[in-house]
């Protein structure tokens, strides 16, 4: 039977990581893989995470299974972080998941249970795994315009024109902040227009929020998600703790499903629990316990927020340095968008051939769609990247 298996498409980012590792050039720069790195090129364990883990080692008395939905305290702490007081808690069902990817997968499974004919509208471009998972599940994907490759900003008119085709049977997938891969975000006025369209069409919005705290700040990055939650009857939220807590390998995520009325919450929760049982049964717990310990302890939370803010400001400084250096070398302000984008990524809007030239001629690695991870830079590598960009004619 196994001889009937066919080779699966290679993951572009994983392939890029392999090429980077095998490149012997000492000047190589990795801007492809989507993890935060400090100035030394290390993905650090945050201070509050280390402290929380030390407490757990001393305090935890069992490694028995948690419930199918995970530890309720984790769901409550993450809900507070994401939504604050924007929605009544009795309207919310939630489950812990293996990372943000697990939350996205379970959300797609849930909407397919609710409507086998569902379509999911996704931004063009979006995180590639969105489309990959939907394709694997056999859920039709409809792309809506999002990024203008000329201005490197949101093509809002095109987005709204395409979303006009949404029906009440559809899901609209949105990025809560720090759009991956482009770095270009909607402003709150544009978010309100999207909300108005969603309410007019009666579709189900879904928000993937993986970078809260990496853009304009913890509260600011949650503003759009809270605005949606307070304005629509139903909502799905897939959240990740990988980036803002730096616990990538702990696979810590959360899926929240918000219903119109509290009397539907129990059924929704039962369906979420059922899907967890069918997929991986009990979700991972260590990362969730760490996050809960941090968010419920004022001292640890304050230290986590301070370190997260340092990370955020460091990425903004790198963005500004790169934009300034490119302006100096080119004599043009056409790269100013880099300083305006938010989060780890910017899509610089060039061709795959130019991206390949960056790799071949300058040992600079980024995804073929020109998404670069700003957190892969440091003060010394920014001028190297800027010169390379100008030399290859971007």
Catalytic sites, residue numbers: 127, 208, 210, 243
Q: Are 380 and 354 in contact (CB under 8 A)?
A: no
The values of phi and psi at residue 316, to 5°, are: -65, -40
State how far the alpha carbon of 239 is from the alpha carbons of 48, 101, 129, 132, 175, in Å: 20, 9, 15, 18, 10
CB atoms within 10 A of CB 195: 17
190, two tokens? 């544009």
Report the C-alpha gap between 246 and 46 in whole angstroms: 7
Q: Are 319 and 341 in contact (CB under 8 A)?
A: yes
**DSSP state at residue 367:** -
Left if phi > 0, otherwise alpha if psi is -120 to 50, otherwise beta: which for 30? beta
Q: Are 133 and 99 in contact (CB under 8 A)?
A: no
Report the C-alpha gap between 331 and 106 in whole angstroms: 48
282, two tokens? 């009990």
Closest CA to 83 of 232, 300, 271, 190: 232
29, two tokens? 């720069």
Report the C-alpha gap between 125 and 179 in whole angstroms: 10
Report the C-alpha gap between 296 and 381 in whole angstroms: 38
- Give me the residues paired with residue 124 across strands: 145
**Exposed e or buried b per residue across 24-47, where buried means at least 16 C-beta atoms within 10 angstroms of its C-beta:** eeeebbbbbbbebbeeeeeeeebe
CB atoms within 10 A of CB 138: 8
The values of phi and psi at residue 153, to 5°, are: -125, 175
**DSSP state at residue 216:** S
- What's the half-sphere exposure (Cβ side, CA atoms, 13 Å) at 97? 30
Report the C-alpha gap between 103 and 166 in whole angstroms: 23
């Amino acid at each position: 039977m196994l001889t009937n298996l066919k080779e699966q498409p290679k993951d572009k980012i994983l392939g890029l990581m392999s090429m980077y590792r095998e490149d012997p050039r000492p000047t190589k720069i990795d801007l492809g893989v989507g993890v935060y790195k400090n100035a030394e090129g290390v993905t650090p364990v945050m201070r509050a995470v280390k402290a929380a883990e030390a407490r757990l080692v001393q305090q935890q008395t069992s490694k028995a299974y948690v419930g199918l939905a995970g530890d309720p305290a984790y769901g409550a702490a993450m809900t507070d972080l994401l939504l604050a007081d924007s929605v009544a808690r009795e309207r919310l069902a939630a489950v812990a998941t293996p990372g943000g990817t697990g939350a996205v997968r379970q959300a797609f499974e849930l909407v397919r249970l609710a409507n086998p004919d569902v379509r999911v509208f996704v931004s063009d471009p979006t995180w590639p795994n969105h489309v990959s998972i939907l394709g694997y599940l056999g859920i039709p994907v409809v792309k809506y315009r999002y990024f203008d490759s000329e201005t490197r900003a949101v093509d809002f008119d095109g987005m709204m024109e395409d979303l006009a085709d949404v029906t009440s049977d559809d899901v609209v997938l949105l990025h809560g902040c720090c759009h991956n891969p482009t770095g270009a975000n909607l402003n709150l006025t544009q978010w309100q227009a999207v909300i108005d369209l969603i309410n007019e069409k009666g579709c189900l919005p879904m928000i993937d929020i993986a970078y809260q705290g990496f853009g304009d700040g913890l509260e600011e990055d949650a503003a759009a998600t809270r605005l949606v939650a307070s304005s629509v009857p139903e909502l799905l939220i897939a959240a990740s703790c990988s980036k803002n807590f730096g616990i990538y390998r702990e696979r810590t995520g959360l899926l929240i499903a918000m219903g119109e009325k509290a009397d539907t919450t129990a059924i929704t929760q039962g369906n979420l629990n059922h899907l967890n049982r069918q997929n991986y049964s009990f979700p991972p717990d260590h990362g969730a316990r760490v996050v809960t310990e941090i968010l419920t302890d004022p001292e640890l939370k304050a230290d986590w927020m301070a370190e997260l803010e340092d990370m955020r400001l460091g990425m903004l400084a790198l963005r500004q340095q790169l934009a300034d250096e490119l302006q100096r070398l080119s004599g043009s302000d056409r790269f100013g968008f880099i300083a305006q984008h938010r989060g780890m990524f910017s899509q610089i809007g060039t061709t795959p051939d130019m991206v390949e030239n960056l790799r071949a001629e300058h040992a600079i690695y980024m995804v073929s769609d020109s998404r670069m991870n700003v957190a892969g830079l440091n003060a010394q590598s920014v001028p190297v990247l800027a010169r390379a960009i100008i030399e290859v004619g971007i």
